[in-house]
Amino acid sequence: MYSKEVLEHFKNPRNQGQIDNPDVIGQVGNPVCGDVMKIYLKINQNSKDINKSKIEDIKFETLGCAAAIACSSVVTENTKGKTLEAALKINKDLILKKLGGLPLPKVHCSMLALEGLEKAIKEYLAKH
């Protein structure tokens, strides 16, 4: 059974969709459950220190279960406006807390959202 927070994020996902001309796209998938996720980032680079650059916009596309969509929504909601450094510190515990928990078999969905974010940031940093 899902919490009311999970159902709210599933029914009304935040930041769902694509960004035109994103700076980077992180795509991940979980072959066990079949979930696939893309995280689109637009980075505001107003500092020479790359770790002070902020995530100006973030969107996601997730093909997956309610938990995967809810986790994607929470990750993007808690990442927008943060520095890349701060975004990389978002962890599974924060996601689970914001969602009021997840059934144990669905906890891997929170990790997929974080993996997509981390992959996008690392790809961005590798380019710059």
Residue-wise pLDDT tens digits, 98-127? 999 999 988 888 888 999 999 999 999 888
Tell me how far CA of residue 12 lies from CA of 5, 72, 73, 88, in angstroms. 10, 12, 9, 25
E runs forming strands in the chain: 24-30, 35-44, 54-63
- The residues annotated with a catalytic role in the active site are 33, 109
Task: With H, G, I as helix, E, B as strand and everything else as coil, classify residue 106.
Answer: helix
Question: Exposed, middle or buried by CB within 10 Å (0-12, 13-18, 19+), for 127?
Answer: exposed
Task: Give the whole-angstrom CA distance, residue 2 versus residue 57.
Answer: 28
Q: Among all chains, which residue has been given the structure tokens 């700076």?
A: 23
Work out the average pLDDT over 60-71. 93
**pLDDT band, very low/low/confident/very high, at 30 (cuts 50, 70, 90):** confident
| CA end-to-end span of the chain | 43
Task: With H, G, I as helix, E, B as strand and everything else as coil, classify residue 17.
Answer: coil
> In the chain, what are the domains?
4-127 (3.90.1010.10)
Here the tokens at position 33 are: 């459950």
pLDDT reading at 58 higher than 80: yes
**pLDDT band, very low/low/confident/very high, at 46 (cuts 50, 70, 90):** low
Who wins on pLDDT, 30 or 88?
Answer: 88
**Strands lying side by side in the sheet with 54-63:** 24-30, 35-44, 54-63
